[in-house]
Amino acid sequence: MNNETSRQFGVVFETISVNDAAKKCARIAWYWGGAAMVTCNRSGFVEAVAPGTIDARNIERFRPGDVVGTYSNFGQRDAVAKLIAEDIWHHLISAVGRDSIVGQRLRGAVIRSEIT
């Protein structure tokens, strides 16, 4: 993967918030001409990949469970970012399980971020 077709944003709730990751994904989609495939693994590591590239095809082939979705952004960056944030959250919770230790930690992180 290279910087022209893939951007890595960090681990949700550890190095970046869900909203910040989503905003960066929406921004890079606009930069890449309007679309980005967003991935999030079980650890919460978020990245965006330009659709239709070799990187995207490799992710779809070897890590299909990490794909959150492919999003288009043609001027509605805030709305797209909100959708991406919601999808990352649901994807991550479904990947780790709501009642697992990691799922409880994620819910706690969200509650703490909403309070502060």
Instruction: Give pLDDT tens digits for 72-110.
Output: 987 788 899 999 999 998 898 887 776 666 666 666 666
Tell me which DSSP letter residue 83 carries. Answer: H
pLDDT at 116: 44
DSSP line for 21-77: HHHHHHHHHHHTTSEEEEEE-TT-EEEEE-TTSHHHHHHHHH-GGGEEEEEE-SS-H
Instruction: Give pLDDT tens digits for 14-68.
Output: 889 899 999 999 999 988 988 999 999 988 899 999 999 999 999 999 999 999 9
Give this prediction's pTM: 0.82
